[in-house]
Amino acid sequence: MGGKTKKQLLEELSEVQKMLEKRTETQGHMIRKFQTLIENEGLFSQIIDFLPYPLAIFTPQYTLSMTNKAFAAETKTRVMYPEKGAARILQHKINDMQLAAAITGVFAGNTFFLEDLKNPFSMFSGITQQSASEPDLFNRVVIFPVPADDAEITHGVIVFIP
């Protein structure tokens, strides 16, 4: 302590101040996030659930962690919150190279818009039956990443669009 100059002390104090500010900012962000969740209780899951386009959320291990009603209707499943490993993306069943690249590339933080896909639902395991009326109705997909607070991509989302 005695050996430190005034300048060094000021620098150290400035470091501590920055650290405290950073922590306050993180905590403020967390509080705002929780406030939003409380204020909009249930709204986010309702939007996803009532979205008329099939949507599936998947992990870096390619298991489905959530699907919506439209997905269940299109694939004739009753799976809304698939149990771990119950339904997954089988990469070897993807017959489109761009789609295969997108399913992997989403975890590098990239968003993909693909068109003219042939029967894209065939890549899922654990799906009992596909809607037979219009198998290629949803021939466009958007695949986008969902990062955690630390920016690590924890989930990918695929939305099927007519």
Answer for the pair 69, 119: CB distance below 8 angstroms, yes or no. no
76: Cα within 13 Å, side-chain hemisphere: 9
**Residue 8: both structure tokens together:** 């060094």
Identity (one letter) of the amino acid at 46? Q
Contact positions with another protein (CB under 8 A) in 49-68: 50-53, 57, 65-66
Binding to another protein (CB under 8 A) within 4-23 occurs at none
**Dist. CA 104–CA 147, nearest whole Å:** 15
Least Å distance, CB 139 to another protein, is 8
Indicate which single residue of 8, 90, 146, 152 sits in contact with another protein (rule: CB under 8 A).
Answer: 146
60, 111, 119, 152: which one binds another protein (CB under 8 A): 111
Identity of the residue, 7 or 78, whose beta carbon is nearer to another protein in the bound complex: 78
The SS3 assignment for 120 reads helix
Q: To the nearest whole angstrom, how small is the minimum distance from the Cβ of residue 7 to another protein?
A: 28
Dist CA 156 CA 161 (whole Å): 16
Answer left, alpha or beta for residue 49, where phi above 0 means left and psi between -120 and 50 means alpha.
alpha
Interface residue with another protein, options 9, 17, 19, 34 (CB under 8 A): 34
Q: Which is nearer to another protein, 54 or 145 (CB)?
A: 145
Residues near another protein (CB under 8 A) are 27, 30, 33-34, 36-37, 40-48, 50-53, 57, 65-66, 81, 111, 113, 118, 136, 142, 144-147, 155, 157, 161
